[in-house]
Amino acid sequence: MFQIQDTLVSLDVIEKEFCCDLDQCRGCCCIEGDAGAPLEAGEEQAIRESLPVLLPMMSDKARAVVEKDGVAYLDKDGELVTQIVDGKDCVFAQTDHNGWCYCTIEKAFKEGRLPFNKPVSCHLYPLRLKKFPTFTAVEYHRWDICHCARKLGRRLHLPLYQFLKEPILRRFGEEYYEELNTVAQEWKKQSTPQ
């Protein structure tokens, strides 16, 4: 691990190669798992205020869950996460006629109907943030369903942190990303046999 600002970053972030391959996985990370997407401060409120746009885009089951239980809940670790349907699907996930899964929040954002994108935790995936009193750990979450993304990343020689440049900038800012890139370049120089 190495430190950047108030984060401790796993070496996997700069060593592993990754690139989502939606042609293969069809966005299944939104509908697999046993909890919703972690929410940052203010995201629950922003999503709640956006329900007039989002509810018509959601499935009947998802709408019923949100109308009954709200947009978020505390998971088994006490973390605020998006509601889920049938114990696994994010309420904001939709499947199109081709079987591709997409996020209604992201779709509305890209259409200019919302001022914010999907939750930062979704945008950063497969990075996961774990908050401690004095620092945040930035870790790579390895999930079997992302095997095609690891394969494509290796084929493209695309480091995880470069694939995730946009969400890292969104969450941490330009200065943070530049420092991360500098550390990665130095690490690569030291790791390359002479």
Q: What is the mean pLDDT of residues 32-46?
A: 86
For residue 121, the model assigns a pLDDT of 92
Q: Which residue has the higher pLDDT, 148 or 133?
A: 133
The yes-or-no verdict on residue 177 having pLDDT over 90 is: yes
Q: Taking the complete model, does pTM exceed 0.85, yes or no?
A: yes
Beta strands in the chain (DSSP E): 2-4, 7-9, 72-74, 80-82, 84-85, 89-90, 93-95, 101-103, 127-131, 136-140
SS3 7: strand
Q: Are 37 and 79 a contacting pair, CB within 8 Å? A: no
The chain-wide mean pLDDT, for the chain, equals 90
Cα distance between residue 91 and residue 135, in whole Å: 31
Residue ranges of domains in the chain: 1-18+126-194, 27-121
Cα distance between residue 5 and residue 181, in whole Å: 13
The yes-or-no verdict on residue 108 having pLDDT over 90 is: yes
The yes-or-no verdict on residue 52 having pLDDT over 80 is: yes
Q: Are 36 and 181 a contacting pair, CB within 8 Å? A: no
Residue 60's Cβ-side half-sphere holds a number of Cα atoms within 13 Å equal to 0
The yes-or-no verdict on residue 86 having pLDDT over 90 is: no
Distances (CA, A) of 121 to 26, 83, 130, 175: 19, 14, 11, 20
For residue 191, the model assigns a pLDDT of 76
The yes-or-no verdict on residue 7 having pLDDT over 80 is: yes
Q: What is the mean pLDDT of residues 39-51?
A: 95
Q: Which residue has the higher pLDDT, 107 or 102?
A: 107
Cα distance between residue 54 and residue 36, in whole Å: 17
The yes-or-no verdict on residue 87 having pLDDT over 90 is: no
Q: What is the mean pLDDT of residues 101-114?
A: 93
For residue 28, the model assigns a pLDDT of 64
Cα distance between residue 65 and residue 5, in whole Å: 39
For residue 107, the model assigns a pLDDT of 93
For residue 178, the model assigns a pLDDT of 97
Cα distance between residue 140 and residue 124, in whole Å: 10
C-alpha closest to that of 61 among 82, 90, 32: 90
Band (143; pLDDT cuts 50, 70, 90): confident
- Amino acid type, 92: F
The yes-or-no verdict on residue 194 having pLDDT over 90 is: no
The yes-or-no verdict on residue 127 having pLDDT over 90 is: yes
